[in-house]
Every structure is written in structure tokens, then in C-alpha cells.
Amino acid sequence: MLELKDVCFTIKKDGEDVNLVDHVSIKVPKGHFMAIVGPSGCGKTTLLKTIAGLNPESDGALFWEGRNLSEDGDFSPSEIGYVPQFSIAYDPLTVDESVEAATRLRVRTRDTAELDHRIDRVLEETGLEAISDRPVKVLSGGQKRRLGLAMELVSDPKILLCDEVTSGLDPRSEREIVRLLHDLSRKDGRIVLSVTHSLAHLELYDSILVLHEGRVVFHGPPERLNHYFSVKDTEEIYPRLTAQPSERWQASWIKHTASYYGMLEKSRERLIASGDLVLEQPKPLADPDAEESADNRTPQEHRLPGFFSQFSTLLSRRWRIFFRDRAQVFLQLAILLCFPALVTLFSDKADGNIRRYSDVRQDSMAAEIQEQQSVRADQAKVGSAISGIIMFQVVLLALMGSNNSAREIAGERPIYEKEKFGGLRPSAYLLSKIAFLSCLVIAQSLWMAFFVNLFGAFRGEFVEHVIFLLLINAAMTSVCLAISALMRTAEQASLLSIYLVGFQLPLSGAVLALPEHIEAFTRPFISAYWAWSGSVDALQSQVHGAVKSVIDTSLSNQEACLFTLAIHIAVALSLAWIGARRPQWE
């Protein structure tokens, strides 16, 4: 049984405490199908999230099968399923792939046969077996609702929470979903709670919970709803609620609680006697020496998959989504080909010779001055070109890093939060992102270095230059991944990442030297400076001198550059870890 005793959820508004859930007390037995209804803003979704543990109760207590959830911990991932309002599947995947990924992330199976059996059973339960190979993006609204249910049923939850799963559906699809939820509540004593705006098909529910301003004003059988509110039509209930304050409705309900709960208990006894409600499926006798069948396990026995199993599932899914997103693949290829080509447009200017000073003293002062001017002109031409090409490579790789990861977590935040609620380890999730992005970083950086080198060899230690190109891409990718993990929306993350890359060039000091007091403050945070400075330090001595002759910014040695870029990556990944762990439900 699920029981709530004087549960409150309180927020601060204009400096005052406001109860969005106000002293809710209800009892929901096993095998029960309950609708949570009420006017907009009455606290339906807030109550559902409080039951799920997403909103910590401010007062009162929740009990599940005699266990105090407020003191003994929340539901285990296998005990509860939560279907939110938004889609929890990726559009490029098929129905079967979505359910398979959900199963691999939530349930530890012995072998492929057990995995396939569980997937097939869930698809059959939700009526999706005929469209299992259909991409999610082409599904209708009702089919997406069924898919959301299927992805929650893979762990055989004993309590299923559904938030507006019928909203936006046509009447026929709405009734099909309500009927499906009704049938799911009749299996193994599963409790199904469904938040809905609709007052249609109420006869399919075992009980109706009506909320008004966060308070319970009715909880009883659907056939007694109109009588209790003294209305002829169910649609008149919401206007009726505004006729008096919610405190009076709540006080009235408290007086009638015992009698209405008695009606619910009698209705439940009739269902059990008729066989329409089966609380426990009979277990077949099994050979004591044989391994227990997966279907005979209780939900509490479902163990979460291991770290590496979740990691491999996430990484495999990420690559599948990447290659099926043709726009993303085309963008990556375009960037990979066009950016290095842009750099090579200026490569011929860096190939010029730098004239050396003659060892023989010139015959006249004019000839000596002319020689100095020629050497300085060569240094200025070649030094400016090489410095600019290196910085161009660095900035373009920083832009690639921003494009790699700015939306990587923020763009799928709702799905990630839902999967984390179902038992996904943030560490496995973040490591799968790092592994995926590392492949992009390596491919982009190496291609940039070798492509540009084909049209004008790097005039120094090429391997060291490659290392710094890898590090700037990795640093910016890591920083933008951290931004993506900390921001609530993909738009916020993208905008902040673009600004971050835009400030790299002017604040690096490679083009115009900054005032010393500003430079000392900004330089430690500018990844582009350290990659550019490290690459310049890897140049041949003569070329290095030419670059130094045309820039006003002091250069740092390679050890300092390597250390600083490594710090940027480490700090950024630490912030990404903090953002990935922090709950950010809408």
C-alpha cells in the first residue's frame, strides 16, 4: 500500500512559504488505478513528483508497503516507473532500440535470450510489437505514449506514475491509453497513478483524487463524484470548486473520508472476488537446483546493470544517434574539410625565407642599414604569417570544440534526468560523453595538423605542435561540456559557448597586447593563448625569433602551457561531473 500522511511541499514566494501540496493524506492499495484531477495549477504534477521523490516533502511522511520513505530512503529504481509529459526516447532510434536501451540501462539480464524475452514481453503488453522497427520520429502521439510506458515497464515496477500521458490525444487514442493503464494496474498488484486534465473515461478508474489549490477535496469512486459535488455533469466540477475556498472543501472532505474509503474497500473486495484483480501471480513450482527464471523474480530482485554495461550501452547508442542524424554528420564533415582549407589559404605567406645578417661587415653605413631593414622585413612578413596561422588553427579548433559539446548534455537533459531517475549512473553517462567527444577531438585535431602541414610544413617540432592542437580542442570541448552540464537549456549552453570562443582571440593578446593589469587577470583562463604560445615555442629558433619580433605579448614556455591546458581540462571535467550529478528537472 502507498500511504501519504499530511504531506506538504513548500516553496518560497515573495519571501513567504507557499504550500503547493498542502497536507495531503491518502491511501492507495495494491492493484489500484487512480486518477489525479483538478484545475490547472492545483498541484497535480507537484504531488506526483513528491510521491516519486523528485520533490522532497517539506512536512508529513510517505509510506510504501510499511516503509517510511521519508526516513528509510526513496523507492528503488526497480520499484517505481515514472512517465513524464515529455518524450523520453530519441527520435533517430527505433521503437525496439529504445526499449532495448532502456532495458540494458535498468535491468541486469543473464544473457541475450533473457534480454530479448523481456523486450518482446513489454512490446506485446503495450501493443507496440507491430511497429517495433519504426523510428520514434514518425510515431503518433498515442504511440509515443505507449513507448514511454514500455520503457518504464522493463523493470516491472510495482508503482507506475503517469503525468499527463493522455494530453493532446484524440478521444480514441486517449481511451486506448487509459484502458492500457487500467489493464497494467491489474497485473501483480501494480499501483497506477495518472495525472490528467481530462474528465473523460473516469469510469475506468478505481478512484478519483480531486485537488484544489494543493489540497485534497475528494478521493473516492468515480460514480460518487458528481453526487459529492452536487453537479449533474462532471464538466461542472471545476467551476464548482471556485464557489468556495479550498480550506472549506478540504474540511468537508475530512468529514466524509471514512465513508468514501469504505466504498472503495467494498469495490476492491468485489474485484478480488470476481477475479478481475489479481494481486499476486502464482509462481510455478521450480526445480530447486535450477536457476530461477527471470519472470519469477520479484521487482526488488532486479539489480541494476554494472557501470561498464551502462557505459557501453550509452556509447553505442550515442554513435548510432550520431550516424543517423544526417545533418549532424554533414556539419561535422563540412567543418572537418573546410576549416583546414581556410588555414591553407594563408600558408604560402609562411614559407618565405628569413634573411640572416651577414658575417662580413658592410662597406658603408647605408648598406648596413639596408641589410637590417631587409632582415626585419623578412622577419615581420614571415613571423606575422606563422603566428597568425598558428592562432587561426587554435581558434578554429576552439570553435570545433564548442560545436562538439555545447549541446551534448543540455540538449538531452530531460531524457538524461529521466534515465538517472531510473538508475543510470552519472559517472557512466559522463564517461560515455567523454569517450564519444574524444574521438571527435582526435579526428579533428590530427586532420587539421596534417592537412595544413601538407601545404606548408610546420617550421619546428611538428609533434609538439600537434599536441597543443589536441589540447586546445580538448580543453574547449571540456569547458563547453561543463557549460552544457550546468545550464538548464541547450540554447543557454550554446550561447554561452559561442561567447566563450569569441573572447578567445582578443583576450589571448596574440593580435593586440592587453594592458598588463588586464592580461595578468585574464591570461590564466584563455586556452587559446596557451596553445598558441606552446606552438610558437616549438618553432625553430630563427622562426621563433621572427615571431617574437612582431608580437608585443610575452610567451610562456612549453611546460607551463602543457600544465595550464591540462588544468583547464581537469577543472572543466570536474564541473561537468558536478552538473551531471545535480538534479535539474523542469
**CA quadruple 320, 321, 326, 328: dihedral sign:** negative
Give the integer Cα–Cα distance in Å for 564 and 545: 24
Contact 184, 165 (CB under 8 A): no
CA distance 550 to 160: 68
Q: Which CATH class is domain 26-49+159-279+294-301?
A: alpha beta
pLDDT on residue 510: 66
At 239, the amino acid letter reads P
pLDDT at 505: 76
Cα 92 to Cα 325: distance, rounded to the nearest angstrom: 7
pTM summary value: 0.88
Q: What is the pLDDT of residue 555?
A: 80
pLDDT at residue 460, as a whole number: 82
Contact 496, 502 (CB under 8 A): no
Task: Characterize the bridge pairing of strands 2-13 and 80-83.
Answer: unpaired
Answer yes or no: are the C-beta atoms of 165 and 134 closer than 8 Å: no
Residue 333: predicted pLDDT: 94
Calpha distance 418→168 (Å, rounded) = 21
Tell me how far apart the alpha carbons of residues 556 and 568 are, in angstroms, rounded to a whole number.
16
Is 462:453 a contact under the CB 8 Å cutoff? yes
Write down the pLDDT at residue 376: 58
Residue 379 makes CB contacts below 8 A (sequence gap 6+) with 354, 545, 546, 549, 550
**What was the pLDDT predicted at 302?**
63
Number of residues that make up the chain: 586
CA distance 19 to 213: 9
Residues 6+ apart with CB under 8 A from 134: 94, 95
Task: Identify the pLDDT of residue 268.
Answer: 87
- List all residues 6 or more positions away from 503 whose beta carbon is below 8 Å from its beta carbon: 526
Tens-level pLDDT at each residue, the chain (586 residues): 899 999 999 988 888 888 899 999 999 999 999 999 999 889 999 999 999 999 989 999 999 988 998 888 888 888 999 998 888 899 999 999 999 999 999 999 888 999 999 999 999 999 999 999 999 999 998 999 999 999 999 999 999 999 999 888 888 999 999 999 999 998 888 999 999 988 889 999 999 999 999 999 999 999 999 999 999 999 899 999 988 899 999 999 999 999 999 999 998 888 888 877 777 654 443 444 444 444 444 444 468 899 999 999 999 999 999 999 999 999 999 999 999 998 888 776 666 565 554 445 555 666 555 555 555 555 556 667 788 888 889 999 999 999 999 999 999 999 999 999 999 999 999 999 999 999 999 999 999 999 988 887 777 889 999 999 999 999 999 999 999 999 989 999 999 999 998 888 777 776 666 677 777 778 889 999 999 889 888 887 767 777 776 676 778 889 999 999 999 999 999 999 999 999 887 6
Domain boundaries, the chain: 26-49+159-279+294-301, 88-156, 307-356+365-581
Cell of 2: 502507498
Alpha carbon separation from 32 to 62, 171, 192 (Å, rounded): 17, 23, 6
Which cell is 419 given? 534515465
Please, which residues have CB within 8 angstroms of residue 521's CB and are 6 or more apart in sequence? none
pLDDT of residue 78: 87
Q: What is the pLDDT of residue 300?
A: 43
The separation between CA 236 and the C-alpha centre of its own chain, rounded to angstroms, equals 41
- Of the candidates 534, 555, 557, the one whose C-alpha atom is nearest the C-alpha of residue 460 is 534
Residue 408: what are its φ and ψ, rounded to 5°?
Answer: -60, -40
